[in-house]
Amino acid sequence: MGFHWSIRTALAAGLGALCLASPALAADPPTRAALVLHADHPGPVIERNIYGQFAEHLGRGIYEGVWVGPDSKIPNTRGYRNDVLAALKEIRVPVIRWPGGCFADEYHWRDGIGPRDQRPVRINTLWGGVEETDAFGTHEYFDLAELLGAQTYVTVNVGTGSPEEAVHWIEYITTETHSTLGDLRRKNGREKPYQLNYVGVGNESWGCGGEMRPEHYADVFRQYAAFLRPVPGQGKFTKVAVGPNVADYAWTEGVMSGAARWIDAISLHYYTVPTGVWPHKGPATGFDEDLWIKTMSQTLRMDELITKHAAIMDKYDPQKRVALFVDEWGTWYDVEKGTNPGFLYQENTLRDALVAALNLNIFHRHADRVKMANIAQMVNVLQAMILTDKERMLLTPTYHVYDMYKVFQGATEIPLDVDAPAYAYGGVSVPSVSASAGRDPQGVTHIALVNLDPRHPAAITVKLEGLSASKVGGQLLTAPDMDARNRFDAPDVVKPGPFAGATLARDTVNLTLPAKSVVVLDLR
């Protein structure tokens, strides 16, 4: 992938661990890393959809988070929060996956159409045992996507649904004809068809979506794919197969071997759990350096997972026609005390910002296969972009990384070689520096850099091969504390600012990355 890291010496790594163990040594000289940018060997395009979002009927992710209804006192546009809409537009949300998630395999689309006060109220047994009013349904989702200029990614119900139900939903969404379903959509307020871009055939069918074996799911996918056809006059949509849970390589093998020719894309789900133990995942705040480095180590597994699953895909799809969609990823901690455990509400810190940057760097470097990624989730759930508290809203550190990195949407990936020492603590060792690069359509080259070490700055040299630049600038995101976070009464604790610490001398950029920081450079 044009990326590697190396430990300079075992001694250096050992001394690094010793220094990190002692706060008194935090002012030691910076570590040093050398990068080589191969602008003369451009890679594939970094698809915009790598910056995709995920919105499930879960907790306050949709209700209050995005949708408050047109009669709310919270300023809104046809029921959508104005503050949330503006924030999401700013980061250029390219695609939104909906309605789930596990919720999708219990969701029947007819419940979410027609007059809102006449829609059935059900119990969301999956997430919190609360009432699901179905006030946010098909029209509300597609209207939201249009307001944001985002593509649409709908997951159809395989677990408790049928191919017939899925076919009827697609006809309702997309037909221009005056069929019964087309006229039903018109009766419900939408004359012209909606644009449908991606259709997920079930969700986590190895688990909450049906407890299936891969061979069985491959046959189920083939059955659905046979009937999920674009209606006349509408463009083709991408059919997405349920892919593996983390390192379940047997699932990828079984599904690809049984159904590759019918699949347009296959998904991958992987969450960063600091402890690696689901019942006790670790806190979102108040953590120590042990959990910091474990979080980074668990996050960096994403590179190995993509590499190994892609190798299996290559066996059955050497032309790389089938895309890999990492359509659920992010941090997953113990829920905040005093909140509904089924709402998966957690605070968002500088640590989450680095996790986001690390994953985006990995996706950039695998742009030949990874064509979409959907962080979980957009608002108020898990590693959210935005948190709300009734009428109040704040932007999380993760949001700010997406804002800094939006320059990579549609850029051409540029390979980077990275030679950096290890950051080691408590018996865990990770590369101290992560990086990726791309050239945007306007010809500006961007380099994203992450210093994983929470105590030591990193002195960086970047050798530019095949690139002449006369100006360098950038943005920096960092904070004094590992668990620094934005609060409703202090929303700007973690916020990016200008970075003027890079200098350009002929074909080399020199800079010092602060400890626990994210920097995006612009070379012109």
- What is the residue-level pLDDT of the chain in tens, covering all 524 positions? 433 333 222 323 332 332 333 333 344 678 999 999 999 999 999 999 999 999 999 999 999 999 999 999 999 999 999 999 999 999 999 999 999 999 999 999 999 999 999 999 999 999 999 999 999 999 999 999 999 999 999 999 999 999 999 999 999 999 999 999 999 999 999 999 999 999 999 999 999 999 999 999 999 999 999 999 988 777 799 999 999 999 999 999 999 999 999 999 999 999 999 999 988 999 999 999 999 999 999 999 999 999 999 999 999 999 999 999 999 999 999 999 999 999 999 999 999 999 999 999 999 999 999 999 999 999 999 999 999 999 999 999 999 999 999 999 999 999 999 999 999 999 999 999 999 999 999 999 999 999 999 999 999 999 999 998 999 999 999 999 999 999 999 999 999 999 999 999 989 999 999 999 999 999 99
Q: Identify the CATH number of the domain defined by range 48-410.
A: 3.20.20.80
Collapsing DSSP states into helix, strand and coil, what is residue 84? helix
Most distant CA atoms of the chain, gap in Å? 75
CA distances from 129 to 126, 134, 150, 340 (A): 7, 14, 30, 9
Q: What are the angstrom distances between the C-alpha of 415 and each of 48, 190, 322, 521?
A: 18, 46, 23, 15
Residues 6+ apart with CB under 8 A from 266: 240, 241, 242, 243, 252, 255, 256, 313, 322, 323, 324, 325
The tokens of 334 are what? 């113990």
The pLDDT value recorded for residue 235 is 77
Stretch(es) of the chain classified as CATH 3.20.20.80: 48-410
Considering only CA atoms, which of 72, 66, 110, 69 is closest in space to residue 88?
66
Q: Is the pTM of this model over 0.85?
A: yes
Report the C-alpha dihedral over residues 222, 224, 228, 229, rounded to 10 degrees: 30
Determine the residue type at 164. Answer: E
CA-to-CA distance for 138 and 194, rounded, in angstroms? Answer: 10
List the beta strands (DSSP E) in 80-164: 80-81, 95-98, 122-124, 130-132, 151-156
CA distance linking residue 446 with residue 443, whole number of Å: 10
How many Cα atoms occupy the beta-carbon half-sphere of 515 within 13 Å? 17
d(CA 248, CA 444): 39
Cis bond upstream, residue 101 (ω within 30): yes
Report d(CA 299, CA 418) in Å as an integer: 18
Q: In angstroms, how far is CA 26 from the centroid of its own chain? A: 33
Every domain of the chain with CATH number 2.60.40.1180 lies at: 10-44+414-523
Contact 476, 511 (CB under 8 A): no
- Return the structure tokens found at 98: 């909906």
Structurally, what CATH architecture does the domain formed by 10-44+414-523 represent? Sandwich (2.60)
444, burial (CB in 10 Å: exposed 0-12, middle 13-18, buried 19+): middle
State residue 254's pLDDT score.
Answer: 98
Which pLDDT score is estimated for 81? 98
Q: Which amino acid is at 15?
A: L
Closest alpha carbon to 379 in 161, 77, 83, 125: 83
Cis amide linkage into residue 475, ω under 30° from 0? no
The helix or strand, by DSSP H or E, that contains position 70, with its residue range, turns out to be: none
pLDDT at 13: 32
Q: Which residues are catalytic?
A: 204, 328
CB-CB neighbours of 342 under 10 Å: 16
Give the pairing of strands 198-201 and 265-272.
unpaired
